[in-house]
Structure 1
Amino acid sequence: MALAIEASDLGFSYPDGTRVLEAVDWTVEEGAFQLLVGATGSGKTTLLRQAVFAVAPVGERTGRLHVFGADPASRLPREAAQTAGCVFQDPASHIVCDTVERELAFGLQNLGVEPSLMRRRLAEVAHFFGIEPWLHRATAELSGGQQQVLALAACLALRPRIVLLDEPTAQLDPVAEKNFLHGLFRVNRELGVTVVVATHAPDVMADYATDAVALEGGRASRVPLDAFRPRLLRGSGARAAAPAGVGAGLAVDVRDAWVRFGKTSPWVLRGLDAAVPRGSHTALLGGNGSGKTTLLKAIAQVMRPERGSVKNALAKGQAFLPQDPRLLFMCDSTIEELQEWQRACGYGDAAVDAMLKRCGLESRVAVHPYDLSGGERQKLALAKLLLTKPSLLLLDEPTKGLDGASKAEVAGLIEEARAAGATVVSATHDLAFAHLCATQVALLFDGQVAAAEAPESFFCDNVFYRPLDDAFARCWRARHGAADVRARAEKGDAPGGEG
């Protein structure tokens, strides 16, 4: 079988001396659908970028890398664009045009494709991905998931031989995720395009893949796909005890809220009613574009309803984690980010050091936030907010881009904040996170809350929203199992103890 990618003894170091890849031997067969797995910060994004010279990171590369028989650096721009395409973690970073149609055409225009052929390519990809209804919409109004679909469609309009994707489903709802993967599967099988996906969610992709490679310690190794075969999550699992005062009044009360982006834009929230009890964790679920982020912004008073009311009793102590964590970064290093609000919020160096250790960022203190991996940026942004000890946490996709162990750490931090009295509202597509960590699940549909229930009743016999027993769920159980053993030991009633 011919090889799409062949790397031997491949190494890479960033300018600051950080060694990410170490003697990597990696092959991708032409026509394969390969999964690339590994912990947050293991170098998956760095490895993918080596195969596309236009986006290769600055640093020192050693060893040998060929994509379809040639070093990526040796190809002219037109040939390179038609050889390898990429879709990375932050879809907004791909988008340069103001409308969906112009974004789809942008790459073709740069290659000098004649107008009639360009129009045909646009029609093909728009129909293939079902994005014709938003063809004339402003890209700034798209949800994160819609931006992800647009980024893939624009990439495939160039007809590359291989597509490299970094966490492509992290911002997609469960139904959109299935549709996206099915479309990617068709691209792979029917069009013969080789696909490589770096992911922390191999469980949902295993049935589409042909093989898998794990990156650990800077080296690559084959892993069997059977290790990722999906199983449904059963039961409620370990759940945080309710803090004192939970349910004692409402933290957020939304009544008949009508919200849209502009006077001529369609309504996003249409007479929405919602109630968030103090001390609770409400997880907002719903399709891409259903209004989850808009509701968070309305609660945060970033967007105002044109009709109705949004009452936020904890507005003075709120903290907002946006979908793009880079919006919170203003400093030149990880440590400076965590120290930025020290004087205003009154926390000391010891708290910063403890948070760095808790988030596994001790070795990254001097690194610019933009040079961190997507998962590391996510953890840094949340850590920065938690140091302020907020009374209301508004979180937009808090677990995206994280491996199972890192998700468990982040979920633990959120749980501890709630145990200390914070109220949490999270918008998420991570069903296992919502199932195991939330106290209430609210499903948004047609601009309203279609259901608001306890996780156990919401997920029971649900046809479309079915959480998987993934790496996060297993880490979460292990974490709480160990905590239960310690608690019993402290009380003297652990197995073999007194009592």
Structure 2
Amino acid sequence: MAGLCNALEVRDLSFAYPGTDGGETDWVLRHVGLAVPEGAFCLLVGPTGCGKTTLLRLAKPELAPVGRREGSISLFGEPLDRIAADPRESARTVGYVFQSPEGQIVCDSVWREMAFGLESLCVPRDTMRRRVAETCDFLGMGPWFRRECSELSGGQRQVLALASVLAMRPRLLLLDEPTSMLDPVAERNFASLLFRVNRELGVTVVVATHDPRPLVDYADMAVSMEGGALREVSPDALRDEPDLAEGPLPAVTLGATQVQASDAWFRYGRDDDWVLRGLDLSVSGGETRAIVGGNGSGKTTLLSLVAGVGRPQRGRVRNWLRGSQVLLPQNPKALLSQQSVLEELMEWSRNVGYGRDEAVDALDKMGMGEELLPRHPYDLSGGQQQLLAYAKLALAHPALMLLDEPTKGLDLAARRSLARALREERGRGTTVLLSTHDLAFVRAVADSVTLLFDGQEACTQATGEYFAQSWL
């Protein structure tokens, strides 16, 4: 290890986002100090909105947020400002993988995506071909190298996002919640790929995550961020399984069937494989139903058909609550269009009939304070955007909530807040249909569970019965 320097060194770093009035809001980072040795695998943990994403983005010049910054950042002994002056040097030094691959993938096919960044840096064609070939071979992408990006599973999209960054051969790799949208199998596979990147290629890896358990076995250091400051923790202290339940679900009387799928078949293109294959489903009024299954099993497609976004090519999907429904998509930015958090919450106030106090209360139930009200929604962390989108939808007082991966990017405290909010909705008689990989969350909120496999209903059972018979 002699002669190695710190891959990432942060000294007395403070940062504040600009407020809507032109001044600075409260400091997000306060006198942060961090030293990640070259070759390390570092986990960055902490509650939702604590500043993990902000810290990572500040270390990638092209993604650094606008605001007031004090202190210094250096990469491999070089000041960040010097590296930022040369895009090629920046790409060779530090790579960044986003929480959602949809926010990173820009091309229609895998091979074009792999070449896009290299072409932008004017890498010679022969060099480009070799880098793409070596990266795809290392990550096992050969079988789907010629496929369209739209045909990839969630796990494959995340691997593609990683590969397109690795093709530029960065020495430092920053990843923001890279496994939050993956099922447990894809999550473990991606974690093992990161370990190989770290150990076999010598790339320093820093991962910001709300759920470090899949990565703990590979990490040799961990730091926790709270209140805008960092402290070192042992990776072994991050292994505990969370408990989200606050006692058993109270008994409720379910109503008549409100959502029903009968022999539903759906595919996105005429020549594509069927996503849903004769799916049958029935959800009662006032029921909270969890839809589980691996990436590509049809969970998101089912929610879109229930919402009326698409129609099955064969069979039928009926929704008797469509006139009073909300849909939380996997990407909460699809719902965020205003210039501040307060404007976002108040967007539907005139039509629905609620005031500022109710909007602030909805935000408070998600564990977020009034200091965020003037902040632009895109300056929030991914987890905070998720909570804001849910709070905005809840203010509409819908009869049906359709939630696609609602705990994506949320830490334990935020997941508990969301679980508590859904239990309150259940008490009010709201029908909830949610898709998720978060089985602990399912235990805490769901009356029943439907397992999808190969586009079909593999089983539907009461939650307790489902987990009692499951061996996973």
TM-score (norm 1): 0.88
Q: Post-superposition shift, 1:348?
A: 2.8
Partner of 2:398: 390
1:14 to 17, 22, 46: 17
**Which residues of 2 match residues 228-243 of structure 1 at below 5 A?**
228-231=238-241, 238-243=247-252
2:452 to 444, 465, 472: 444
Q: Post-superposition shift, 1:270?
A: 1.3
Tell me, in whole angstroms, the C-alpha distance in 1 between the residues paired with 2:242 and 2:224.
23
Is 1:213 the counterpart of 2:213? The answer is no
Q: Post-superposition shift, 1:231?
A: 4.6
Identical-pair percentage: 52
Contact 1:257/1:309 (<8 A) preserved: yes
Q: Post-superposition shift, 1:191?
A: 1.4
Partner of 1:408: 416
Tell me, in whole angstroms, the C-alpha distance in 2 between the residues paired with 1:333 and 1:370.
9
Question: Could you list the per-position Cα deviations for residues 364-390 of structure 1 after superposition, in whole angstroms to 9, with x for gaps in the alignment?
Answer: 111111111111111110011111111
**Residue identity matched to 2:432:** V
Tell me, in whole angstroms, the C-alpha distance in 1 between the residues paired with 2:358 and 2:437.
31
Is 1:62 the counterpart of 2:70? The answer is yes
The 1:149–1:460 alpha-carbon spacing in structure 2 relative to 1, beyond 3 Å, is farther
The 1:130–1:292 alpha-carbon spacing in structure 2 relative to 1, beyond 3 Å, is farther
Contact 1:164/1:195 (<8 A) preserved: yes
Contact 1:323/1:397 (<8 A) preserved: yes
**Residue identity matched to 1:399:** T
**Which residues of 2 match residues 348-497 of structure 1 at below 5 A?**
348-359=355-366, 360-460=368-468, 462-463=470-471, 465=472
Tell me, in whole angstroms, the C-alpha distance in 2 between the residues paired with 1:289 and 1:258.
15
Q: Which moved more, 1:146-155 or 1:131-140?
A: 131-140
Tell me, in whole angstroms, the C-alpha distance in 2 between the residues paired with 1:32 and 1:355.
41
Question: Could you list the per-position Cα deviations for residues 430-489 of structure 1 after superposition, in whole angstroms to 9, with x for gaps in the alignment?
Answer: 1211122212122211111212222333333644x4xxxxxxxxxxxxxxxxxxxxxxxx
Tell me, in whole angstroms, the C-alpha distance in 1 between the residues paired with 2:117 and 2:238.
35
Unpaired runs of 5+ residues, structure 2, are none
Q: Which moved more, 1:364-373 or 1:125-134?
A: 125-134
Q: SS where residue 206 of structure 1 aligns? A: helix
Tell me, in whole angstroms, the C-alpha distance in 2 between the residues paired with 1:144 and 1:416.
31
Question: Could you list the per-position Cα deviations for residues 407-446 of structure 1 after superposition, in whole angstroms to 9, with x for gaps in the alignment?
Answer: 1111111111111011111111112111222121222111
Partner of 1:48: 56
The 1:334–1:231 alpha-carbon spacing in structure 2 relative to 1, beyond 3 Å, is closer
TM-score (norm 2): 0.93
**Which residues of 2 match residues 210-289 of structure 1 at below 5 A?**
210-231=220-241, 238-243=247-252, 245-246=253-254, 248-289=255-296
Tell me, in whole angstroms, the C-alpha distance in 1 between the residues paired with 2:73 and 2:443.
43
The 1:94–1:272 alpha-carbon spacing in structure 2 relative to 1, beyond 3 Å, is same
Question: Could you list the per-position Cα deviations for residues 186-214 of structure 1 after superposition, in whole angstroms to 9, with x for gaps in the alignment?
Answer: 11111111110001001222111111101
Q: Post-superposition shift, 1:232?
A: 8.6
Partner of 2:193: 183
**Residue identity matched to 2:193:** G
Unpaired runs of 5+ residues, structure 1, are 466-499
The 1:326–1:236 alpha-carbon spacing in structure 2 relative to 1, beyond 3 Å, is closer
Q: Post-superposition shift, 1:38?
A: 1.0
1:106 to 106, 116, 135: 116
Question: Could you list the per-position Cα deviations for residues 49-100 of structure 1 after superposition, in whole angstroms to 9, with x for gaps in the alignment?
Answer: 1211111111222112111111222122112111110112232221221222
Contact 1:441/1:455 (<8 A) preserved: yes
Tell me, in whole angstroms, the C-alpha distance in 2 between the residues paired with 1:290 and 1:12.
42
**Residue identity matched to 1:33:** F
Question: Could you list the per-position Cα deviations for residues 332-391 of structure 1 after superposition, in whole angstroms to 9, with x for gaps in the alignment?
Answer: 111111111112112233321211222214111111111111111111100111111111
Q: Which moved more, 1:137-146 or 1:79-88?
A: 137-146
Question: Could you list the per-position Cα deviations for residues 230-254 of structure 1 after superposition, in whole angstroms to 9, with x for gaps in the alignment?
Answer: 4597x987232133x31x3212111
**Residue identity matched to 1:345:** V
The 1:131–1:418 alpha-carbon spacing in structure 2 relative to 1, beyond 3 Å, is farther
Question: Could you list the per-position Cα deviations for residues 101-151 of structure 1 after superposition, in whole angstroms to 9, with x for gaps in the alignment?
Answer: 211111121222333432333333334444444433333454554432221
Q: Which moved more, 1:258-267 or 1:308-317?
A: 258-267
Aligned residues: 461
Q: Post-superposition shift, 1:313?
A: 1.6
Tell me, in whole angstroms, the C-alpha distance in 1 between the residues paired with 2:100 and 2:298.
19
1:193 to 196, 203, 220: 203
The 1:454–1:133 alpha-carbon spacing in structure 2 relative to 1, beyond 3 Å, is farther
Tell me, in whole angstroms, the C-alpha distance in 2 between the residues paired with 1:205 and 1:367.
32
The 1:194–1:299 alpha-carbon spacing in structure 2 relative to 1, beyond 3 Å, is same
Q: SS where residue 78 of structure 2 aligns? A: coil
